[in-house]
Structure 1
Amino acid sequence: MKSTRLLFVMLWAWLALSVQAQEGAWKGELDFQGTKLPLVFHFADNGCTMDSPSQGAKGIPAQREILADGTVRVTIAAIGATFEGKNDGNAIRGTFTQMGMEFPLILMPGTLQVNRPQTPVPPFPYREETVSFANDGFTFEGTLVLPVHCDRNTPVVVMVTGSGLQNRDEEMFGHKPFAVIADALARQGIASYRYDDRGYGLEGYQMDAYTTGDFASDAQVALRLMRKRFGKVGVLGHSEGGTIALMMAEQGMPDFIVTLAAMAASGKETLMRQNRASMASLGLSQGILDTCCAVVQQAFEVLAEGKKVEQLSFEGVPAELKLVLESSVKQCDTPYLRYLLNVDVSKSLDKVKCPVLALNGTKDTQVDCASNIQVLESGLINSRHEIKKFEGLNHLFQHCTTGSVLEYQQIEETIAPEVLQAIIGWLKTL
C-alpha cells in the first residue's frame, strides 16, 4: 500500500516538474505546402494561448493537458486544431492537426524576433506635429510631417490605410509602411499627414459596423484640414485606401492621387478572386475548388442585395470545408462587407481629372495586378496618369516568393526601395 502511494506521489511530482519545465513561450513553424507558418504557444499555470504572427492573430485561447506518459496535448477549439508532442528536454516534438490535415511541428523555447530595418529611427531631419480632427462622433489623432523649409507651396499627401483597424503607420506584422513612406517623402521635401483609423484604441469598437463610405468621409475631412495649410493637397492610399483615393478623385476633391494596390475592379470581383486564390492554396482539386467558389459567389450575390443568407447548397463540398464556409458566410453578414461588395469605382473613372500614379505588384494575391491595371488603363481617359507594375512584389510591395499573406510577417523588408523612388520621382513632376 505504501509503495503504491509512493508511486502516485512520485508520478504527480514528475508531472508537476514536467508542466513547470514547459511554462513560458514556445515557438515553431508549420510547413504548409512550402510556406512557413510560425506559431507561438504561451504556457502558464493558469492557462494557455497561441499566436499565429503571420496571420496577425494573438492570444487565441487554448487548453493544455499533460498526459500520464508525458505527452503535451494542446486543444485550440476556436480554430478546430490540436497539437500533441513530447518534451525531449530541448524541444517539444509532435504533430499539429487541423481540418483533418497533419503537420509535423517542433516547438523550441522562446518567442519570435522580427527585424524591420526600414522603420525610421530618430533623430529626423524634419519636423513632426500632432494634428487631430473630428468626424462622425470620432476624434482622429494624426502626425503631420513637415520637411525642411516647408511652406504653403510644399505639396502634402493625406495617407489613407487599407482595410482593417490600423494606426497612422498602417502597422501590421511589425511593419510600419506609412511611417517608412512619410520618412522618405520628407527627406525629399514632400509633406504628409497620416492618422489613426476611426475607433483605433477604443474598447468595444465594432469596425464591421462601418463602411468604406464612412472611411472615405474621414479622409475627406482630413483633406479639407490640410487645405487650410497647403496649396497642393493629394491623397496616397493603400489597398482600400487606394480605392478611397479614386472615389475622392471622381468627386474632384484632391489635386493628385497615388494608389498602391487599389481595388479598381468591383468589390464583388475582388473578393471572389481573393477567396479563389485562398482556397486554391489549400491544394483542393479543381472540382472541389469550383464547387466551393460557387457557394461563396451565391452568398455574395445575396449579401450584396441586402438579404439574409438563409440557405446555401453545400452539395459536393467536403464536410471539413463545409464548416469553414458556413462560418465564413456568417462572418460576412456585416454592413462593412455588404457595402464593399457593391463598391465599383470602375464605372466612374472617366470623371477623374487630377493626375494619378497607380502602382501594383505582380505577386499581389489580394488585389489582382493584371485585372486592376486593365480597369485603370481603360477608365482613366480624362486624367494625366502613370500606371506601373512591379515584378515580384506582393500586396504590401515587398519582394516575396509566393505573394501569400502568410509571408508578410516573415519578410524583413517593409516596402521595396524602387516603389519609394517611383512615388517620389512622380510627385516631383507635379
Structure 2
Amino acid sequence: MRVWLPIIMLVFLITAGCSEGNQTSKGSDKVGGDNIEGEWSGSIQVPDQPLNITVKFRNEESLEGSISIPAQNIEDYPLSQVSLNGKELAFQMSISGQSLRFIGAVEKDSISGTFTQSGKNFNFELEKQKSSSSNASKENFMTIETITGTLYGSLLLPEKDSRQPVALIIPGSGPTDRNGNSPGIQGKNNSLKLLAEELADRGVASVRYDKRGAGKNAQAVTKEGDIRFDQFVDDAKQWIDKLNQDKRFSEVIVIGHSQGSLVGMIAAEPESTDAFVSIAGAGRTFDQLLENQLAESLPDDLYQESLKILDKLRGGENVQEVSDPLMSVFKPSIQPFLQSWMAYDPAEQMKEMDIPTLIVNGTNDLQVPEKEAQILANANPEAELLLIEDMNHVLKKAPADREGNLKTYGDPDLSLAEELVPGIMEFLQQHGVK
C-alpha cells in the first residue's frame, strides 16, 4: 500500500527572469503590461508528458503574476522579478531552495520560450484565455499570518443571514489541498470540497485549507528538513482562534481527516472548540501503521531494512544510509519529521478529549481500517463511533478490492457516502450545535 507522507512534492515550480525586481518596460512593438494582463494557459514540455500550467498577470504599480500547476497541487503561487521588455517576458519564483525560470516572447495572444530548472531546459507555450471561469476565482478566502507567510482558507457560507456554526476541515498527510486531492493520485476526488458543500446545504459554514506546499499555501512551504508535526498543530490552532473571533459564527467544530484527525485532536480544546469529528483517523502511532503498511508492500529484504530504520528512529537516531527504494519513505532529511509524528499516540490524545467527539470510519478504507476507529473509541468511552458500510478513505462508497477501491480516488463526480454528512449533523444536533 502506498504511504502518503507530508513531504513537499515540488518537482516543477517556477522561478525565472534575468532582471532585479518587478518592472515593466513598454517597447515600440506596443506589447505592454496592459496587453499581457489576464490569464494564460498552456504547458511545459517535460519528458513523458506535458506539465499543464496557468499563469495570471496583473499590472498595478508594477507587473505582477502568479502560477498554478494542477499536477503539483500548486495554486496562485506568486511570481517574482516579472519583467516585460518589448516582446521579451521573464519571471521567476523561489521556493524550497529551488531556482526555476521562464524566458519567453509575447506574440499577440501567445507566449513561447524556455523553462529552465537545474540547468535543464524545456520548451513552454501559453495562450491567453478570453475569460477566467474557474471555480477557484469565485471562492472567498480567509487568511492567517504565520512566520513563514500567509495561509489561505476557503470559506463557504450557508445561504442564511443569522449566526451559524462553522467547521474547520483539516486535510490529511502529504501535500494535500483543501479539496482533499494529492498530486500523487491521477485525477481528483474532491472529498473535502464535497463535504464542505454538503455541510453548507445543512446550515454549517466551513473553512478548509491547503497543506503547506499545496494549493494557495504553496508559498508558505517550510524547508524539508525543518518540517515538524507541531507546525501542523500550530496552524490548526491559529485557524480555530480566527474562527472564534469571527462574530458571524456561533460555534466552532473541528473536523480532521486522516492525519488531520490527530492534528485536530491536539488542536481542539474545550475553551475554543464545541465539537470534534475524526474521519479516517488512526488509532495507533504513525510508526506502527507504517510498519504494517510496509509489510504489505515490500519484499522481505527491504522490509527488514525498514524495521531496522524504524527502530533507530524510535530511539532518537537518524539513519543516513538508506536504500534507494526506501528513500521516498525514509529520506534522511524527513526523518526528524517522522520522529516528531511518531511521538504522538492518537489513542492517548483521544483519551484526553473533553469535548463532544464523533469517530467516523469506513469499512472499506484501505489506508486506515475500521479497527483503528475502534481503538480510538475504546480510548474514550464518551466518544461516539460511526462506521459507514463500504465507505473508503476518500469518503466514497467503494468495493473492498484494491483496484476497484482506488478507482474512486480520481472521480470527482462520485458523491460522498450518503450516511456521512447526515451522521455528522445528527451528532452535532444532539450536542446542541445547530
Q: Matched residue of 1:49: which SS?
A: coil
In structure 2, the residue matched to 1:417 is 418
Q: Structure 1 203/197 Cα, relative in aligned 2: closer, same or farther at 3 Å?
A: closer
Q: Matched residue of 1:48: which SS?
A: coil
User: Which structure shows the bigger proportion of residues in helix conformation?
Assistant: 1
Alignment: residue pair count: 298
Shift of 1:147: 1.3
Question: What is the aligned-residue identity percentage?
Answer: 24
Instruction: For structure 2, list consecutive stretches of 5 or more residues without a partner in the other structure.
Output: 1-42, 52-69, 73-133
How far apart in 1 are the matches of 2:270 and 2:340? 19
The 5-angstrom pairing of residues 382-393 of structure 1 reads 383=382, 385-393=383-391
Q: Can you list the C-alpha shifts for 1:83-123, whole angstroms capped at 9, x where unaligned?
A: xxxxxxxxxxxxxxxxxxxxxxxxxxxxxxxxxxxxxx98x
Q: Structure 1 310/158 Cα, relative in aligned 2: closer, same or farther at 3 Å?
A: closer
How far apart in 2 are the matches of 1:326 and 1:181? 34
TM-score for the superposition, normalised by structure 1: 0.61
In structure 2, the residue matched to 1:399 is 397
Shift of 1:358: 1.0
Matched, 1:130 2:141: yes
How far apart in 2 are the matches of 1:204 and 1:155? 30
Q: Can you list the C-alpha shifts for 1:266-324, whole angstroms capped at 9, x where unaligned?
A: 11111112222333xxxx6xxx3xx5433222211212333122568xxxxxxxxx652
Shift of 1:142: 1.5
Q: Structure 1 414/134 Cα, relative in aligned 2: closer, same or farther at 3 Å?
A: farther
How far apart in 2 are the matches of 1:235 and 1:159? 6
Matched, 1:429 2:430: yes
In structure 2, the residue matched to 1:375 is 375
Letter in 2 for 1:270: L
Q: Matched residue of 1:398: which SS?
A: coil
How far apart in 1 are the matches of 2:176 and 2:321? 34
Q: Matched residue of 2:284: which SS?
A: coil
Shift of 1:157: 0.7
In structure 2, the residue matched to 1:20 is none
Which of residues 281, 292, 299 is equivalent to 1:273? 292
Instruction: For structure 1, list consecutive stretches of 5 or more residues without a partner in the other structure.
Output: 1-43, 59-120, 313-321
Q: Matched residue of 1:233: which SS?
A: strand
Q: Can you list the C-alpha shifts for 1:215-272, whole angstroms capped at 9, x where unaligned?
A: 1110100001110122311101110111111122467642111111012211111111
Q: Structure 1 415/45 Cα, relative in aligned 2: closer, same or farther at 3 Å?
A: closer
Which of residues 269, 283, 297 is equivalent to 2:307? 297
The 5-angstrom pairing of residues 6-17 of structure 1 reads none
Shift of 1:400: 2.3
Letter in 2 for 1:143: S
Matched, 1:220 2:237: yes
Letter in 1 for 2:384: E
How far apart in 1 are the matches of 2:321 and 2:326? 13
Q: Structure 1 189/303 Cα, relative in aligned 2: closer, same or farther at 3 Å?
A: same
Q: Matched residue of 1:183: which SS?
A: helix
Shift of 1:205: 5.3
How far apart in 1 are the matches of 2:269 and 2:295? 30
Letter in 2 for 1:375: I
In structure 2, the residue matched to 1:37 is none
Letter in 2 for 1:195: Y
Matched, 1:179 2:177: no
In structure 2, the residue matched to 1:346 is 347
How far apart in 1 are the matches of 2:166 and 2:269? 19
Q: Structure 1 352/51 Cα, relative in aligned 2: closer, same or farther at 3 Å?
A: farther
Shift of 1:414: 5.3
How far apart in 2 are the matches of 1:180 and 1:367? 20
Shift of 1:347: 2.0
TM-score for the superposition, normalised by structure 2: 0.60
How far apart in 1 are the matches of 2:290 and 2:262? 14
The 5-angstrom pairing of residues 182-261 of structure 1 reads 182-199=196-213, 200-202=217-219, 206=223, 209-228=226-245, 229=247, 230-249=249-268, 253-261=272-280
Shift of 1:413: 2.0
> Does the aligned pair in 2 maintain the 1:150–1:189 contact within 8 Å?
no
